[in-house]
Amino acid sequence: MSRINTNVSSMVAQNALGRSNGQLQTALNRLSTGLRINAGKDDPAGLIGSENLRRDITATRRAIGNSERAAHMIATADSALGQVSNLLNDIRGLIVEAANSGVLSSEQISANQLQVDSSLEAIDRIAKTTTFQGRSLLDGSLDFQTTAGGVNGVGLDTVRDLRINVANLGTLGSLDVQVNIVNEAEQAELTVAANAFTNNALNDDLVIKLAGRDGAEVFTFQAGATVDDVVNAINLVKDATGVEAVNNNGVIEMNSISYGTKSFIDVEVISEGGSGTFAANLSSNRDTGEDVNATVNGVRANGDGNRLSINTSTLSLELTVDQGSNTTVDFTIEGGGAVIQLGPDVVSNQQARLGIQSLNTGSLGGESGRLYELRAGNGKDLFADPTNAAKIVDEVITKVVELRGRLGAFQKTTIDSNIVSLSDLLNNLTEAESSIRDADFASESAMLTRAQVLVQSGTSVLSIANQNPQNVLSLLR
């Protein structure tokens, strides 16, 4: 064909060269960026999947960072709690030393009291100054806020101690709690009928061993000892045995001081004269108390004396009611707690709301009283009542240790395991996103070489095709 107006061969060569240049540009882009998808046109479906995975990767990375930061916060609180434990142990030792009043002078006991006061001030200071990123941890600001409410809004006046450890408030931002006491806690109880005495006196010599939760004691009574003699002897050492007695119209009623299945009364008649009737009129040789039987929002609670607890995925609390109370308790958790974002999605089941109670001396305490009562001039300082002071410190030590244990368990079982789980998730998500978006350098290098060869050959072919019309000039010569 000898035409000059239209050079079809040149047009074909130009199209081929254009495609080759496009392939070369694509290969250069992928190799220079390391990505297979640089624009939506490269792979629309792949781009959608890749962007969704990148969203998940970003959220997961932040969730891991949240957990790591929460672990640091708990470690900070645990360190402060350790110092409080040391101070409480020091106070406990000072109380025991001060109880040796027959040997120590009043000046020495006063010196111990001064140390106790200083330790209490140190505990208050730790509660105020323990912070993480500017936020106080132990002053009660991270505790849950409760109000009388719930279903009927009653019973809070019968609650002696309430600790909410974890609560999921969901989208409502509050949670109604109803504690229904099915059976109240009971003391261990034994009686000695009036027939054990004649004219209010023992008929013969008697030796008994009385044991309770706190210890055991052996009593020796001579014939003629009265009911009041027996009762007074038992009550004289009730702090050592955990058993007290009363004279109810000639009947001796023995009760454990504490409540629950851990409380018991055991009476063993070691010896009794032939005319004695004490053993025959003893209601039983042993009796055990009963723990409170209750439900919290329909879930069976664990009972321990007058104390009940529950631990579910949405609510973990510990509550102590008045001795022997069977009053239903209703209240509402309206907020508070430290919200920890554990997962990549901002939903309630991927969050934990952790409560940390105040550690100041006005809040720390139990059934025996509050820690501030150990200060000089109060009713339970070293001079006034070292026995109950020791009980208060024991209860506070238990609470502080339980708080440390709970925070440690949360850090180990929830946070640390969450970090491991999210790290595995992050690896899998990153691998999946990489397989979609990242360039395969081996394949792209081969494509680059192919495109370079095609561009070079296409350029040469186009040059030849452009010279074809000049061949027509030879016909005009």
Q: Residue 114: CB partners within 8 Å, gap ≥ 6?
A: 376
CB atoms near residue 201 (< 10 Å): 13
CA atoms within 13 A on the CB side of 231: 20
pTM: 0.77
- Per residue of the chain (477 residues), give pLDDT as tens: 566 677 777 788 778 778 877 777 777 777 777 777 777 777 788 888 888 988 999 999 999 999 999 999 999 999 999 999 999 999 999 999 999 988 989 999 999 999 999 999 999 999 999 999 999 999 999 999 988 764 445 677 888 888 898 888 888 888 899 999 999 999 999 999 999 999 999 999 999 999 999 999 999 999 999 999 999 999 999 989 999 999 999 999 999 999 999 999 999 999 999 899 999 999 999 999 999 999 999 999 999 999 999 998 889 999 989 888 888 899 999 888 899 999 999 888 888 888 999 999 999 988 788 999 999 988 899 998 998 999 999 999 999 999 999 999 999 999 999 999 999 999 999 999 888 877 767 777 777 788 787 778 878 877 877 777 777 667 666
Q: Do the beta carbons of residue 259 and residue 305 sit within 8 Å?
A: yes
Helix (H) or strand (E) holding 255: strand 251-259
Q: How far is the C-alpha of 417 from the C-alpha of 242, rounded, in Å?
A: 44
Q: Which of 138, 228, 217 is nearest to 192 (CA)?
A: 228
Written as one string, the DSSP assignment of 391-453 is HHHHHHHHHHHHHHHHHHHIIIIIIIHHHHHHHHHHHHHHHHHHHHHB--HHHHHHHHHHHHH
